[in-house]
Amino acid sequence: PEQGELVLDVQAIRKEFGGLVAVKDISFQIRAGQIVGLIGPNGAGKSTTFNLISGVLSLTSGNVVFRGEKIGGLRSREIAARGMSRTFQHVKMIPDMTVLENVALGTHLRGTKGVVSAMTRLNRSEEQQLFREAQRQLERIGMGAFLHEQAGNLAMGPQRLMEIARALCSDPALLLLDEPAAGLRHQEKLALGGVLRQLRAEGMSILLVEHDMDLVMGICDHLVVMEFGTYLTEGTPAFIQQSPAVRAAYLGTEH
């Protein structure tokens, strides 16, 4: 997509679980080459919003337009195939396989039942292609030295980067990252921030749910704030930092 072009248009999406409205008619937009942060206290509805956008959960109402196409109602695999890729709050990996194998197979495993069935459905050249792409994406984000490490031996920082490399295979236009800095040490957060900035410079659009405010304020172009399932406000990091309503939401006081 061209820089500044509308990539994602979230239109009044809503999710009800029984009587609970977890996401109440939330709207926002992401343009090409933007990092947008979705923030709010625990239970605000951030992960549910992610799951609605990526098709992991079905919408109660509203719609999502991705690169000009309505994707509300499509399944997660169909949405991924259109160029939207995501990571989950908890790292998913096979600890005794290498980083390269985890990234290569993780890509192929999306939506299939298991490693064995996945492998047996690949011919040799498809498999080689998968591994080449996995290596390319790992090297792209500075993980070239870890290709043949056992995934289970990685520290948290490289584990998170491995997940991002997996999400990058298939060349997405939009990356959804759910708390990529959770559990990371300071240096690892800095490295992650550097990778996200690099991806943005390469034209990637990113939607980021993250609790670490230094990271969020440091790298996001725009922030959307949720509270109790509702849209609270949005704006630049500088604006959000000054907002009395946002401060009140985080302090849990009246406003």
Residues that bind ligand ADP (CB under 6 A): 17, 20, 22, 40, 42-48
Q: How far is the CB of 211 from Mg ion (least distance, A)?
A: 9
Residue with Cβ nearer ligand ADP (17 or 250) = 17
Calculate ∠ Cα 59-71-2, nearest 5°. Answer: 135
Q: How far is the CB of 182 from ligand ADP (least distance, A)?
A: 12
Residue with Cβ nearer Mg ion (47 or 205) = 47
**DSSP at 23:** E
Taking CB atoms, the residue at the shortest distance from Mg ion is 47
Q: How far is the CB of 51 from Mg ion (least distance, A)?
A: 10
Q: How far is the CB of 26 from Mg ion (least distance, A)?
A: 14
**DSSP at 155:** -
Q: Which does 42 bind (CB under 5 to 8 A by kind): ligand ADP, Mg ion, none?
A: ligand ADP
Q: Are 34 and 206 in contact (CB under 8 A)?
A: yes
Q: Are 37 and 216 in contact (CB under 8 A)?
A: yes
Question: Given the rule CB under 5 A, which of 28-36, 43-51, 109-117, 227-235 is the region that contacts Mg ion?
Answer: 43-51
Place of tokens 């990539």: 7
Residue with Cβ nearer ligand ADP (90 or 132) = 90
Distance CA(174)–CA(163), nearest Å, equals 15
Question: Given the rule CB under 5 A, which of 20-28, 47-55, 68-76, 240-248 is the region that contacts Mg ion?
Answer: 47-55
Q: How far is the CB of 125 from ligand ADP (least distance, A)?
A: 41
Task: Return the SS3 of 153.
Answer: helix
Residue with Cβ nearer ligand ADP (44 or 181) = 44
Dihedral over Cα of 79, 80, 82, 86: its sign = positive
**Could you tell me which of 1, 88, 90, 34 has the C-alpha nearest to residue 234?**
34
85 binds Mg ion (CB under 5 A): no
**DSSP at 253:** -
Q: Are 8 and 66 in contact (CB under 8 A)?
A: yes
- Of the candidate residues 34, 47, 159, 205, the single one contacting Mg ion (CB under 5 A): 47
Residue 53's region, left for phi above 0, alpha for psi from -120 to 50, else beta, is alpha
Q: How far is the CB of 192 from Mg ion (least distance, A)?
A: 18
Q: Note the residues at the interface with Mg ion (CB under 5 A).
A: 47
